[in-house]
Structure 1
Amino acid sequence: MPLAPLPLALFGAFAHAQSTLAPAGASSAASSNVSASASSGTTGATLAPVFVTANPLGETDLSSPTTSVSGDALVMRSANSLGETLNGLPGVSTTTYGPLVGRPIIRGMDGDRIRLLQNGVAAYDASSLSYDHAVPQDPLSIERVEIVRGPAALLYGGNAIGGVVNTIDNRIPREAITGVTGAIDASYGGANDARAGAAQVEGGNGQFAFHVDAFDRDTSNQRIPGYAHSAQQRAADGPDADQPYGSIPNSDGRWHGGAVGTSYTWADGYAGISYNGYDANYGSVAEDDVRLRMHQDHVAIASEVRNLQGPISQLKFDFGYTDYEHREIDNGETSTTFRNHGYEARLEARHKKIGPFEGAFGVQVSQNTFSALGDEALVPTTTTTNVALFGLEEWKVTPALKLSLGGRLEHVKLDPVDSSGTKFDGSSARDFNAGSLSAGAIYKLTPVWAVSANVAYTERAPTFYELYANGPHDATGQYLIGNPNAQKEKAISTDLSLRYENGPNKASAGVFYSRFRNYLTEYNTGRLVDDSDTPVPAGTDDALNEAVYRGVPAEFYGIELDGHWRVYEHGPHRVSLGLTADYTHARNVDTGSPLPRISPLRTTLDADYGYGPFGAHAELVHAWAQHRVPEDDLPTASYTTLAVALSYKFHVGKTNWLAYVRGDNLTNQDVRFASSVVRDIAPEGGRSVMIGMRGDF
């Protein structure tokens, strides 16, 4: 995990100050929190968070394994992509397709099994379809990230069977604002000469509030310690192949965007609307002549009413509409256009206590239409409709024991357009009824020790590409063929963890196990084909591996450790140490063969020192080699990286400033993530230094 920049701290910190939903640096025994006080020696009150993603009841003690990152801790991790920003948190890795593309992976599961949300609802894109499709979110615009490890299908649907990543911002102000405040920042440096800047202004009269933000990032090709291709890949390339050295060709990019939002607030709630836009233009590291141009428009409406009379005490409504498009430009010509547009709406109601039970229930409705037109028309244009009911109840049996039980029923319909006379001829509509149940418990052994356990049964309907795919996919070197008869994916999952919390000292140790009855994944048939799925001999230029989707029994299990300790505090001096480690084992139960792209055992040691306005942070990461790979994959070597950041806070008049310098991968290691589909042609960045400054007013 690279150490992220200290830039743009006020951007997140300021937005954080405007929200009482989750104070900066919040932490709790129920969640593995990266606290603001643990980064760069910063200080501040530590308050229990309201973890909105894992529980609509506003609890601080959660049985689900969760992580919340906010404030200075989020600034320290902020990187070019959402996946890279979160990579290295317990159980979290990233896909990566060059320096600008990365989607979070949780416990070895990616794609449609991980639900990415913005403020609790979907913002549609194409990132789950292909590893070269970026997530259209810039970490500069995020106030807080909440991660639920393990099944979150109860609240968010079958495609949260592996977990949820919810990014939260203040584009719709949730609390009253009086006056005008803002933040501005700029940074330069890094392994790809990143020039980044962001600005934000918020204001209000105590009732009406507004928010405006903008960001811009421009990067050059990423520098690397040696060859772009691994030694194994160079041997397979042959002696006459060109071998890029020192940088990754076509890895540059630029993206920018911004948002405007407004709300009306009162003592017991708020209602508001926002718009945000995102544009990107970046290269494909697997194809030197291919650029991806992306645009997303997203409109959100949100409201919450508290302290209602009658049996319902609180109502919360969230709505999001997204219009997304990206074009893949090959030698200056558009080869494929991907579009995805649709909406998602959620209404949650919290009821007053009924006997010993406290709970919430709700309805969720969504519909989106996805199309891929052109040379890489992988799937027919398909409309997916989802309607669901869910509920969650909690019972505090004793002061030490709390139980929870929840369920969800959803109906999913996938409807491809008439494709007569095309390669998608015969694609027919499919309907699925999916159900999920979960039960959890927290038992406090002592005031500082607790045990948490969860068990869940979840179902996931197949996606449009798992059902209808029939086309070339150059980004992964495959010709993908869907399974029109695919059935629901079913899993039973369990978690067990031991937790400790005593002031600034927090630790957790957990194990997890998931067993899938019908795990849908692609398997190579062994045939080499061309773009029309016609067999070709080995050695043919641009030959693709034919792959089909099929369901197999699979299991995932592993361990997660996370702890942070304040080892010294005297006057203005503070020293903290941290340890994080995780391991995931995933296999096909029938054959015993490993599943692809699973991160190896990783450990992170970190140290923080603070003295007044000065801060220092050091982080040492070691990842073991990954030899448990499918037969057609290459193993990855181990690596050890070191990152260091120094910061200084000062004031000029009424403006607060933060200056920083940061060094990443100071050991200049050749880092190739086992979770990356392009690990053998595009490693992570080499040694780099970044400087920056930011201020708020």
Structure 2
Amino acid sequence: MNRKHLPLHPLAAALALTLTAPAHAGIAADAGDPHREAIRLDALIVTATPLQQSVEDLARPAEVLAGEALDAHKSNSLGETLSRLTGVQSSAFGPGVGRPVIRGLDGARVQVLANGLPALDASTVSADHANSIEPFLADQIEVLKGPATLLYGSGAIGGAVNVVDGRIPQRVPDTDSGLSGRAELRGNTVSDERTGMLRLDGGGGNFAFNASLLSRETDDFRIPVPAEAGHHFDDGHGHGERLENSAIRTKAASFGASLIGERGFIGASYSFFDTLYGVPGHAHGHDDDHDDHDDHDHDHDHHDEHEEDVRIDLRQKRVDVRGALYQPFAGHESLSFRLARNDYEHVELEDDEISTVFANKGTEGRIEAVHAELGGWRGAYGLQYGRRDFSAEGEEAFVPPSLSRDLGLFLLEERDFGAFKLELGGRLDRVKIDAEDEPTAKFDTASFSLAGKWRAGEDLHVLFGLDRAERAPTAEELYSDGPHLATRSFEIGDEDLDTEVANRIELGLHWHHGRFDAKASAYHTRFSDFIYLADTGEEEDHLPVRQWTQADARFNGIEAEATVRLAENAQGTWDLRLFGDAVRGRLRDGGGDLPRIPAARLGADLRWELGGWRASLGAVRHARQDRVADFEDASAGYTLVDAHLAYHWDVGNVGWEVFLDGTNLTDREARPHTSLLKDLAPLPGRAIAFGIRALF
């Protein structure tokens, strides 16, 4: 990758300007600025649900990453940022791509949202396509586990991830100066990272605005072992210590403004996301055929091969409009709408030559109405429409151009019966896919959900859930036909695929008493007509042929987490967190295990705070994954150790913070089983991130 440094001096200057910010410049208004003081994560509002409740109040499994925890674990990718949450791992397709894997499901089964609307990128088309959302600009990230289809359609049958960044303000900053924000500069030793970020929130009267800017550049990152599994460094002079073609360059920016009154608001934003990243271990080989091959003297028994670096140049421009009216008419608390229009394109480059161009022009609209309590029931209903105009042109256009449309109607209701809370939900969708030179595909899906919470005592809550969710096949699953080098296969779709049906049951416990807080859940999901990519054992164009097919499957999993306050005295506050999760996905009727199911994990974090200081030390053990699908190799277990140190101080009303974050401190070889590149691209070696933040 071109390693010319990005101009970070404007961001550095912006950070320096905060030194001269007036003393009365207030603290960021959004979410009460979680950096200034400790916050209770269970008190954070989950905006991905129409009723916008706290995590503690929800009867459905959900988690929120915010505040200091989000600062400590922000990464280049969304999946890696969330990977310390129970039940969530990353697909890990190189440093530029890390999509969330929720309870063993990802891709077209996990809906990634930006402020409640789909990201509208092409990340579900191929494993090497990145999400077009920048985690560093997030205020909080919400994870809905289990089917979220009743809220967001069939693409959320495995869950949803909502990134909240406040780009359309909903209130005027409560500061004397009318301006607040944050800025950050950071580096990282493993990849020579250079990142700068600036965010401003301002306004006055009935007007508010938000502006953000991010710039990041990294070199190829260092690895503790040779890239290809089973190989060894050939000498001690540093050969192979960097993963070739793993550099990243990213720019992102947005500007939004709102008019805000006592009875509602209306606002709009414009944003762009631009990233250029290498796909490690993904060089294309071109054999040189020689008739006199046997007449030449070769040291290695293979064809001469020219390796081409493969990079992806991704750009997305997006316009969002959002508004709400409070007490719009009798019997209703609010009426809101969201609308997004995007222009997405990414170019796959081979040695700087254009190979394939993927484009997606998408529109998404959503209207929600929250009604007042009626017969003890409180709820919301709404309508959602989506349109995706997708095309792929070039050497690797294995999916034909298509136009996909989705119209959904949903209803969510809840009621308290004293110690018992009940939630009911349902959604109907009509999906239509028109692909070039292919018959039109139409699907009608219906999803229903029942969840409950029993307050068995002041300290103990019992949760249960029953869901029946349906997912319509995607254009990729229906119409793929050609070589797909990201998955190193020749993919063939099946236009006769039917809807996928998931029936889930879950039981959870949440116990909190004094210094202890613990939660655990177990779930079982039975899929009818589960869609997956099956290896046929045949070859086409020297690639294994894989067919999109359907079969019944089941997923069983458990998650647990416990936190205990060990001490609180003059030496500081000490907390210990223990967590673990495991999931197994199998085809029913003895069909064997499914591919790329995450390995079981156990982890621990010790956290300390005193005055402006905070620190933590943690480790996560990823077990060996030997329950593998046909033609899939087992993955070795590994342990990752991390540590974090930060110091916060105030100058007037400006908060400053310096930080030092270490990951993979023991420099271990780590190859996640969720990654298609696990045998070609290990995770980075020992990394030390460092930097400074300003909060004003």
TM-score, normalised on structure 1?
Answer: 0.89
Q: CA deviation at 1:54?
A: 3.8
- 2:301 is matched with none
- 1:50 is matched with 45
Pairing of 1:148-159 with structure 2 (within 5 A): 148-159=144-155
Q: CA deviation at 1:16?
A: 9.6
Q: CA deviation at 1:308?
A: 3.6
- 1:641 is matched with 640
Q: CA deviation at 1:505?
A: 4.1
Which of 333, 336, 356 lines up with 1:316 in the alignment? 336
Q: CA deviation at 1:192?
A: 1.0
Amino acid at match of 1:412: V
Pairing of 1:71-82 with structure 2 (within 5 A): 71-82=67-78
Q: CA deviation at 1:563?
A: 2.0
Amino acid at match of 1:228: A
Which of 419, 423, 434 lines up with 1:404 in the alignment? 423
Please say if residues 15 and 170 of structure 1, whose CA atoms lie closer than 8 Å, have aligned partners that are also in contact.
no
Name the CA shift for 1:490/1:679 in 2 (closer, same or farther; >3 Å).
same
Please say if residues 490 and 540 of structure 2, whose CA atoms lie closer than 8 Å, have aligned partners that are also in contact.
yes
- 1:267 is matched with 262
3-state SS, counterpart of residue 637 of structure 1 = coil
Name the CA shift for 1:296/1:46 in 2 (closer, same or farther; >3 Å).
closer
Name the CA shift for 1:49/1:652 in 2 (closer, same or farther; >3 Å).
closer
Amino acid at match of 2:550: G
Amino acid at match of 2:588: V
Q: CA deviation at 1:572?
A: 6.9
Please say if residues 57 and 350 of structure 1, whose CA atoms lie closer than 8 Å, have aligned partners that are also in contact.
no
Q: CA deviation at 1:479?
A: 0.7
Please say if residues 342 and 368 of structure 1, whose CA atoms lie closer than 8 Å, have aligned partners that are also in contact.
yes
Q: What's the Cα RMSD here?
A: 2.3
Matching of residue 289 in structure 1 with residue 309 in structure 2: yes
Q: CA deviation at 1:476?
A: 1.2
Amino acid at match of 1:64: R
- 1:384 is matched with 404
Distance 1:265 1:572 in 2: 46
Please say if residues 270 and 319 of structure 2, whose CA atoms lie closer than 8 Å, have aligned partners that are also in contact.
yes
- 1:204 is matched with 203
3-state SS, counterpart of residue 224 of structure 1 = coil
Amino acid at match of 2:242: S
Please say if residues 176 and 266 of structure 1, whose CA atoms lie closer than 8 Å, have aligned partners that are also in contact.
no
Distance 2:566 2:262 in 1: 42
Matched residues, percent identical? 34
Which of 508, 522, 531 lines up with 1:520 in the alignment? 531
Q: CA deviation at 1:406?
A: 1.0
Distance 2:42 2:678 in 1: 40
Deviations 1:475-519 (A, max 9, x none): 111111000000000110111101123467432110011100100
Amino acid at match of 1:428: P
- 1:163 is matched with 159
Deviations 1:670-690 (A, max 9, x none): 011010010000000111212
Amino acid at match of 2:368: E
Name the CA shift for 1:340/1:437 in 2 (closer, same or farther; >3 Å).
same
Deviations 1:569-599 (A, max 9, x none): 1257111110110000100113341101111
Distance 1:617 1:16 in 2: 26
Name the CA shift for 1:340/1:244 in 2 (closer, same or farther; >3 Å).
farther
3-state SS, counterpart of residue 408 of structure 1 = strand
- 2:252 is matched with 257
Matching of residue 416 in structure 1 with residue 435 in structure 2: yes
Name the CA shift for 1:93/1:253 in 2 (closer, same or farther; >3 Å).
same
Q: CA deviation at 1:46?
A: 6.8
- 1:62 is matched with 58
Amino acid at match of 2:48: T
Deviations 1:538-597 (A, max 9, x none): xxxxx2111111100000011000122222112571111101100001001133411011
Name the CA shift for 1:616/1:134 in 2 (closer, same or farther; >3 Å).
same
- 1:32 is matched with none
Q: CA deviation at 1:262?
A: 0.2
3-state SS, counterpart of residue 665 of structure 2 = coil
Distance 1:254 1:442 in 2: 46
Deviations 1:152-173 (A, max 9, x none): 1011101100000000111111
- 2:22 is matched with none
Distance 2:387 2:156 in 1: 17
Pairing of 1:86-105 with structure 2 (within 5 A): 86-105=82-101
Please say if residues 50 and 370 of structure 2, whose CA atoms lie closer than 8 Å, have aligned partners that are also in contact.
no
Q: How many residues align?
A: 644
Please say if residues 322 and 343 of structure 1, whose CA atoms lie closer than 8 Å, have aligned partners that are also in contact.
yes
- 1:147 is matched with 143
- 2:355 is matched with 335
- 2:445 is matched with 434
Distance 1:489 1:229 in 2: 36
Pairing of 1:555-566 with structure 2 (within 5 A): 555-566=554-565
- 1:461 is matched with 472
Amino acid at match of 1:104: P
Amino acid at match of 2:58: L
Amino acid at match of 2:614: G
Distance 1:316 1:504 in 2: 40
- 1:534 is matched with none
Distance 1:319 1:209 in 2: 19
Q: CA deviation at 1:9?
A: 13
- 1:360 is matched with 380
- 2:391 is matched with 371
- 1:349 is matched with 369
Stretch of structure 1 that moved more, 263-272 or 484-493: 263-272
Give the unaligned 5+ runs of structure 2: 1-11, 19-24, 284-307
Name the CA shift for 1:72/1:491 in 2 (closer, same or farther; >3 Å).
same
Give the unaligned 5+ runs of structure 1: 1-6, 26-35, 420-426, 531-542
Amino acid at match of 1:302: R
Which of 488, 500, 505 lines up with 1:494 in the alignment? 505
3-state SS, counterpart of residue 52 of structure 1 = coil
Distance 2:368 2:197 in 1: 34
Distance 1:618 1:659 in 2: 17
Name the CA shift for 1:249/1:638 in 2 (closer, same or farther; >3 Å).
same
Please say if residues 16 and 143 of structure 1, whose CA atoms lie closer than 8 Å, have aligned partners that are also in contact.
no
Amino acid at match of 1:566: R
TM-score, normalised on structure 2?
Answer: 0.89
Name the CA shift for 1:585/1:598 in 2 (closer, same or farther; >3 Å).
same
Please say if residues 72 and 661 of structure 2, whose CA atoms lie closer than 8 Å, have aligned partners that are also in contact.
no
- 1:511 is matched with 522
Distance 2:210 2:315 in 1: 22
